[in-house]
Amino acid sequence: MGILAYRKQRKVLNSAVQTMRTRGIAVSGPYRRRDGTLLFSVADCVVTEEELLRLRRDERLEASNLHEILAAIKERPS
């Protein structure tokens, strides 16, 4: 990934986190794994950077949508 694409992705990620915080969804992070993956704590679930970007892309950052999505994420194998 080039430096400009990386910068754009960070901007989109920050926007998603800010949107969720504005809507009253508890978000903390990012935290970095040893392999470089960014993790966020959303409500009471851990979400990867990719999952958070997918939620934003699918316009599912509303609290009502988020609860069912987080339930599905919790059921995934680790």
Reported confidence tier of residue 59, pLDDT bands at 50, 70, 90? confident
The pair of structure tokens assigned to 71 is 């339930």
In the chain, domain spans: 3-74
Residue 53 one-letter amino acid: L
pTM of the model: 0.73
The answer to whether the CB of 56 falls within 8 A of the CB of 19 is yes
Reported confidence tier of residue 46, pLDDT bands at 50, 70, 90? confident
Residue 61: phi and psi, rounded to 5, are -90, 10
For residue 60, pLDDT over 90 is answered with no
23-43: pLDDT as tens digits: 888 899 899 999 988 999 987
